[in-house]
Chain A
Amino acid sequence: MTELKSILHVEDDPSIQAVARVALETVGGFEVTGCDDGQHALETLAGFKPDLILMDVMMPNLDGPSTLKRLQADPELSRIPVVFMTAKIQPAEVEEYRAIGAADVLEKPFDPMTLADRLKRIWEDVHVDP
């Protein structure tokens, strides 16, 4: 299994982007590229293939689920695991996001000290479960 190294973080709130950068880069040691919505993420993904995408559900322009659909249409991008982050975490919602292909769903707010470890575990699960 290859190690989780690079993450594309898609999030429209600059404060969350900043705290996630500390959580993932400084605490987790990952390389993080940030985008502020789904449209921007798709543009970035044209030239850069991260190991994992961490994405907010509610975003202006193109929201999380719609962005995921676009990714799935591209064979090269569809293999990148997508983890959703959302503040509304109803069990039904988690199931819904998993059903459309999310690797996992994390709850907002997150603890900056443990976020990186949670993503590492999700990454391991994705690779254990073929």
Chain B
Amino acid sequence: MSTPEEVQEQLAALRANYQIRLNSDLADLHQTALELSESLYDHVRLKTLRDGLHRISGSAGSFGCASIGLRCRDYEQRTQMWLDSSATPEAARMLELCQGLSVLKNELEQMIKGGGEASAADVDVPALDSPVRISLVGNESSEHRGIADALEGFGYAVTLDSNPKALAQGGARPDVVIADYQSLDPELSALFEPKGAPALILLDRTDSFDRRLEAVRHHAKGYFVYPIDIPRLEARIRRLASRHTQDPYRVVIVDDDAELSEHFRLVLEGAGIDSRVVNEPSHIVAALRDHLPDILIVDINMPGCSGPELAQVLRLDDDWLKVPIIYLSAETDQDRRALAMRQAGDDFLAKPIGDSELVNAIKVRAQRSRQLSEALERDGLTGLMKHAALKEQLEIEVSRAQRMDAPASVVMIDIDRFKSINDTYGHATGDYVIRLLANLLRRRLRKLDTVGRYGGEEFVAILPNCSLKDAERIFNEIRLNFSQLDCVAGKESFRVSFSAGIAPIGPSSHGAQVLEAADQAMYEAKTGGRNQVRVAVSAD
């Protein structure tokens, strides 16, 4: 279920951790070898040395340190020979090994430093896997050109096609087609009927229920009236394009009956629900953490720990509060069912349950659960994380960055002269500008970055594994991009800019300190003339 980029990210994180440990292991082994060079035959110490070298030779290659691993294998074999012959190694040979180990340690340290820079190069790769292709059926009029340019600003690949019929004839088929209502004819609209066809969005000059109904009958998936509200159009495109790539629902099934639970798993997997079985209740927390389910299905009667007990264990922890727990049980006694629900748990499904009944019951609840958790954490206007969720995420990222000893940056962004936009064009236009920037940030940052709406016209971005220098470069690009977008208010168009402040997550900084430093840098950007990015010296 993970993209290759995500796999690479995970591996890079493991590699960073491993290299830190390897560095201290090499130091320990160096010390052991040094002591061995000064002593008589010491079986225990030699074995410690051999085991340590063995461990490195068997692991370093999996973490991008193959050459260190190979040389440790060589040293391991030498140590093994000394062990086999029970002879005191010559001091000179042992010192050679010592030197070899310090060379390895130096190489590793260079690699760790270099790795920091190399990983920053990843930042260049935009968040998109491959851009969504849009065909805009229209002409070179400024109106159509403007829409095409604005969508390109969001990172889409837009072509302006004058002949819509060409869409039917092979070539790179677009994911989304945007066309004027007038250009529609039955032949064209038939292209959008089949499953898997591009999604059609219609643009119209007048708005009426009849026209909208007509649009639906032409298989349209979106309907917008001129002047086009670009962020809304973009939000619709994003939703249409992600329709097929939405994460499958995730379910964890806890049941001591291995065969039955396996059957449930197969049924749910068959319906496209990513399911995992836990037969041993005590393994539940790891499964939840790994799988992050939308729904937890729990058997009531299990030896050792009953379903309601398990549910109460999970409810001790705020982390899992939002995961609905559904009991699945053959329990028919109403009182005992009621008791189970009172203790913890959200719903009850009776065994035996038919396959399609199970799938439907789980799908409906999983969808609801996902919508709710998004609604709770997301800002209604922008779809970005809200203040509280953002602060939580910041704490997570701060401790992650400190644990991994990796650079990370926090950016505070504030739209310039926002009050005057509201005063001049009205609050609806103000909201529009906020959505415009939210969408741009979402498109331009990586999947592992966090963007949230911190307050009115204030945003915060958290960029793990990103140095101050890279963050500054990226935000200068975004700033330039944003300042060139044409915002539309009625018949007028205008341009807006933002100011940003960036602070690093230091080895001992707290989330609040980093935010404060980013805020201070942002303030300097404002007083320095707005429409600029400033970097804080240090958050610590």
Q: Which residues of A contact B (CB under 8 A)?
A: 13, 15-16, 18-19, 22, 25-27, 29, 31, 47-49, 58, 86-88, 108-113
Contacts and interface: CB of A to CB of B under 8 A. Distances in A.
A16 B59 contact: yes
B18 A15 contact: yes
B66 interface: yes
B11 interface: yes
A71 B368 CA distance: 45
B301 interface: no
Interface string B8-40: 001100100110010000000000000000000
Given A22-B14, A47-B279, A48-B280, A15 B59 contact: yes
B11 A112 contact: yes
Contacts of A110: 61-62
Contacts, number: 67
Contacts of A25: 290
Interface string B54-71: 110111111100100100
Interface of B: 1-2, 6-7, 10-11, 14, 17-18, 21, 54-55, 57-63, 66, 69, 73, 258, 276, 279-280, 290
Contacts of B276: 31
Given A27-B7, A47-B279, A19 B55 contact: no
A97 B459 CA distance: 59
A87 B58 contact: yes
B7 A22 contact: yes
A18 B2 CA distance: 16
The 6 closest A-B pairs by CB, nearest first: A109-B61, A87-B58, A108-B58, A109-B62, A15-B18, A26-B2
A19 B58 contact: no
Contacts of B10: 22, 26
A16 B6 CA distance: 19
Nearest to B22: A15
Interface residue SS majority, chain B: helix
Contacts of B61: 108-111
Nearest to A29: B1
Contacts of B17: 15, 18
Nearest to A20: B62
A16 B15 CA distance: 10
Nearest to A87: B58
B6 A111 contact: no
A26 B291 CA distance: 11
B292 to A, nearest CB: 13
A9 B58 CA distance: 16
B11 A108 contact: no
A87 B62 CA distance: 12
Contacts of A113: 7
A111 B62 contact: yes
B14 A87 contact: no
A117 to B, nearest CB: 14
A19 B279 contact: no
Nearest to B73: A87
B6 A47 contact: no
B58 A15 contact: no
A22 B6 CA distance: 10
B311 to A, nearest CB: 21
Nearest to B77: A88
Given A109-B61, A110-B62, A22 B54 contact: no
A49 B259 CA distance: 11
A109 B2 contact: no
Contact of A26 (B7, B58, B73, B258): B7
B279 A48 contact: yes
B59 A13 contact: yes
Contacts of A108: 57-59, 61-62
Given A26-B2, A47-B279, A87-B73, A15 B54 contact: no
Given A15-B21, A26-B7, A88 B60 contact: no
A19 B14 contact: yes
A19 B280 contact: no
Contact of B58 (A48, A49, A86): A86
Contacts of B279: 47-48
Contacts of B63: 15, 19, 109
B25 to A, nearest CB: 10
B14 A15 contact: yes
Given A15-B21, A16-B59, A109 B69 contact: yes
